[in-house]
Copies of this chain bind each other. A is one copy, B any other.
């Protein structure tokens, strides 16, 4: 197989549905992935932070990825998260994703030990690349210091790009700090290194700076509107489109994101079981869910076709 074509546009870190016994719910998962691809997502960053991926074992992730692909989700639209605390897990998940033909992988740094040096992080990524040993690997670095507590510095990116120019493919910047995204764009966007904003709030700025799109939690529920901006970022309405999706994002940000995304999907899909999360997360309390939905309705928010598809599946 050749090196996969790089994804640009809007990617969702797909939320992972669980049955009441907390096992992954493959039927709902496949349905949601297909809905996302049909409604604006260029790709699916499965097993991201908002996927509760770190609440899944390595084996659970591998089985789910196979089930997605066998269920009809094209591998060339997948960018699974494969960065774990343990080097051996990261190697195993990454090799598996490459072998299945995934467009790329989105890799967290090992995040248990704190205050680790750039040298140590470099060795981690280099070791994964060397052990996977496959030129098809497209590695996207996942910079999310508020959660991982383990930043990925510009110097580290520079070193990886220098040593693995065909492999170090890009970054997702979830720092929430536009100055950092701008610095990444200025330093690397000209070298074929694809910068994705970690939130649609920065999508227009990112595109204007030479970025390639965004990988965003709310891509799970609002992919159509976010993609409209991606497709029209050079058009006359771009600022208005940005303002609109930012307003929806701002509603979501008032709530614990993962539980809120699932509550919204449960509501608009008329499928209450969607709300289930794995510990240590907790589902949204009923009154919080009510206020979230009321705020979204106030914005004429909708998830077109979701209830119909979910009704058809459970009929």
- A residues contacting B by CB (< 8 A) are 22, 49, 54-58, 60, 85-89, 92, 109-114, 116-117, 119-121, 123-124, 127, 146-149, 278-282
Contact A280 B110 (CB under 8 A): yes
Contacts A60-B88, A149-B149 given; does A112 touch B282 at CB 8 Å = no
Q: What's the number of copies of this chain in the assembled complex?
A: 2
Tell me the minimal C-beta distance from A288 to chain B in angstroms.
Answer: 13
Contact B147 A280 (CB under 8 A): no
Contact A281 B149 (CB under 8 A): no
Contact B112 A281 (CB under 8 A): no
A156 to B92, CA, bound (A): 35
Contact A86 B56 (CB under 8 A): yes
Tell me the minimal C-beta distance from A16 to chain B in angstroms.
Answer: 12
Chain A to chain B contacts (Cβ below 8 Å), 5 pairs:
A54-B85, A55-B85, A55-B112, A57-B88, A60-B86
Tell me the minimal C-beta distance from A83 to chain B in angstroms.
Answer: 11
Partner of A86, one of B57, B111, B113, B148: B57
Contact B113 A147 (CB under 8 A): yes
Contacts A85-B85, A112-B54 given; does A282 touch B146 at CB 8 Å = no
Contact A86 B280 (CB under 8 A): no
